[in-house]
Amino acid sequence: AGEVMDPHKAVVKSVKSVLWRILIFYVGAIFIIVCIYPWNELKAIGSPFVETFTKVGIPFAAGFINFVILTAALSGANSGIYSSSRMLFRLAHEGHAPKFFGKVSKRVVPNKAILGISAGILIGFILNLIFSTISKSASSLFVLIYSSSVLPGMVPWFVILIAELKFRKENPKQMAQHTFKLPLYPYSSYFAFSMLFLIIIFMFINPETRLSVIVGAAVLLFATILYFIRKKKIVK
């Protein structure tokens, strides 16, 4: 919104296109797979995508899916570097991170923050290689680190929903002239709230994802305590 010429048109177009992409590439793909294979037999057949492509007569299905997964992983890493470097840049300007990360290049790019995030990824990659050669249970370490970001990653969605409910309540005049309102408000926001809570409950019930909730909650608690300690010092 802050980087386009006409945010009123660009943001609306972007939101609508993202909605259709989710429906086609995620919901649509799962719908096709469960139409071909029973959901309770998916674990037995290996990769459902590979099996689906093989069934329709594409012999190089495994290689094609691996290429798609690799592309998606690189895209996800690129997106992660972009968003986290901007966050680090912002934190540096607010005094919550070293000022070094708040500098920009001649092209007005936060290159120091990008290098800092990239260095973190490189350290993680090296540690993964070292631990995997030392112990076969190194994958559990990766799961533990990854789990720490799952629950905190859901928190912004709760904040967005709360912010929208509060903003609409306190600014009725601005909302009356708004050109792009969320349909079915406020029921859509309450529905999203309930779905997020339901996901967390099921994550805790499921033994495979319970670790994500526990570790994520511990990280959130630690970050909250650290924030209040720092805030108290700043006030003093």
Helix (H) or strand (E) holding 165: helix 138-170
pLDDT tens digit string along 12-59? 888 889 889 888 888 888 887 778 777 777 666 666 777 777 777 776
Residue 22, in any domain of the structure: no
The residue range of the domain holding 163 is: 138-236
CA distances from 58 to 31, 41, 44, 50, 85 (A): 20, 21, 20, 9, 40
- Report the C-alpha gap between 230 and 222 in whole angstroms: 12
Residue 164 lies in a domain: yes
For the chain, the domain total comes to 1
Kindly report, residue by residue over 197-214, the tens digit of the pLDDT: 998 899 889 887 888 888
Tokens describing residue 100 = 């070094």
CA separation for the pair 77, 82 (Å, rounded): 9
Residue whose tokens read 């469960």 = 34
In a domain? residue 157: yes
Does residue 37 lie in a domain region?
no
Q: Indicate whether 214 belongs to any domain.
A: yes
In a domain? residue 154: yes
List pLDDT tens digits, range 46-92.
667 777 777 777 767 777 777 888 888 888 889 889 999 999 999 89
Give domain status of residue 191, yes or no.
Answer: yes
Q: How far apart are CA 129 and CA 119, in angstroms?
A: 15
pTM of the entire structure? 0.64
